[in-house]
Structure 1
Amino acid sequence: MKARLVQDGIFTLVEDITQTMDPPAQGFYWIDADVEDLVILQPLFHLHELAVEDCLTEEEQRPKIELYDSNYFIVVNSIRFDDEEIFLRALNIFLGRHYIITVTRQKINELRALKPILWEEEVTTSDRFLYHLIDLVVDNYTNVGDRIEAKIEKLEEDILMHTKKTHLNEIIGLRSEILWLKKVLVPQKEVIATLHKKELRLISEQLKKYFGDIYENAVKISETFDTFRDLMGNLREAYQSSVANRANEIMRVFTALTTIFMPLTFITGIYGMNFENIPGMHWEYGDITVLLFMLVVGLSMFFLFRKKDWL
């Protein structure tokens, strides 16, 4: 657990956690804690027991906002995409008038990226800290959306050029993750809408407009993932069409080869009969002549099929 006094974007470490109970002369306190630290923080800041229980017992939480007398409990999900799998990590936030507590089970990239923004913007209030943090979380969804779109385009190109059996598993897996993310985006969008539209005493009127901008971005992201879902359906149809076309191509080649060998089989059948008076049967060069004739017939049919674009 780290406690910092934030004044105009400048961080000052606080050694005694009890010092954060009283409002500072200027700025606010940012306490970056693990879930185990809530045992200490709960009595100090009068955190609601239900909110603390959610942090302690639930690894994957649904985005939500709960309003209590002394603070707000907000849950948003940070996203990470490693090109193979999408991960969501719960970011639990307790927002007070003179403090903000962030509680996580794993490292959250947005918290590391937030520090230079606080310094550049000279942030001095906890609600503005919350705004920049949620803005980073939503922007990261946009970045992940761009990477998913690039992966869909590459997958589509691979399917059209060289269809493989593994492509179907990739399509099913990516579509499942997109549908899963879509379910998460809906409540997260509602949380941001609450921060934008509802009268909240811990959120300044000026910041509500900024939360409105984040809400618009969240709506765009949700619509983008709707498009991804449709694209995955189109990809599956493209895969099935490609497989069907490939099967038809193979059957066409086999049919052409069978057709080429039909007259050759007919010739060998005639010369395989137990008759004496077959042309060339007793001729010295009969066997070579028949073989050459079969070769000419086979090559003629082959080039004819190539000319007709049947092979």
Structure 2
Amino acid sequence: MNEIKIFCPATIANLNCGFDVMGLCLEGIGDEMIIRKVAEKGIRITKIIGADLPLETEKNVAGVAGLALLNATQSDFGFEIEIYKNIKAGSGIGSSSASAAGAVFGINELLGKPFTKHELVYFAMKGEVVASGSEHADNVAPCVLGGFTLVRGYNPLDVIKIESPSEIYAAVLHPHIEVKTSDARAVLKPEVSLKNAITQWGNLGGLIAGLYSKDYELIGRSLNDVIVEPARKHLIPNFDEVKNAALQNGALGSGISGAGPSIFALCKGENIAKAVAKSMSDAYAVTGIPFDIHISKVNDEGTKLITN
């Protein structure tokens, strides 16, 4: 193969109690990329449609992630990348992660798959520095691997994929405002109380146990964030109203997706997800701010080839 087309899915990170360590992959919402081999070494971003992002390789998330992978190989050729953005930057559903994951997945395919999917997460993390100033894998891990993922540690990188319970659906409301990851991180305190830390890691353990045991009530009880959400929710108009509407209409739990402004709700079954999505839409519509609403199963495959 000299050219491939790939789908790079959107993701929900943090999942309330799993700040910087938990994420899940969405179906149907995502970017597309075309990556081709060229004789000239290195990486060139030749086209970006759907977003005003830099074409310079060192300033682009996809370029930086791709170079990290390329520098770990002995490739005699280079790559051109076309990016078709459907995930808006600053949306909170993994726009930068989709670019980083797509670049490393596609280049790895064209190189003959020298790296495993788990190894690709390490290279994709390098691109996240461009977007947020730090290497973190809570979005790129589920984008590459699919399903739910837990980042157990970074030194060395240790990512665990968790198979999604079959009835889990996500409703995601994306307001057309931008919350930059760097701004959302700036409102967080560097230290937390021991009481809140104990509550938070109890919830994280409960969420993971609920996913493995397919205990939907336990999943719902565990989707509670006492550290990050209270500091960030003021950045999103009508957040409390949208969250309460989701919970009152049957959502297992609801919270901020990534750094925001998107708000997610996890639900048991598609019918409940549809009812929850409508209630979230009604609660947000009063702001007068345009928004998109998505309903999605958990995507267990992650970034993948598009075959015609």
Instruction: Using structure 1 for the length normalisation, give the TM-score.
Output: 0.22
Structure showing greater radius of gyration is 1
- The TM-score with structure 2 as length reference comes to 0.22
- Write 1 or 2 for the structure with the bigger share of strand: 2
Structure with greater helix percent: 1
Which structure carries more relative contact order (alpha carbon 8 Å, separation 6+)?
Answer: 2
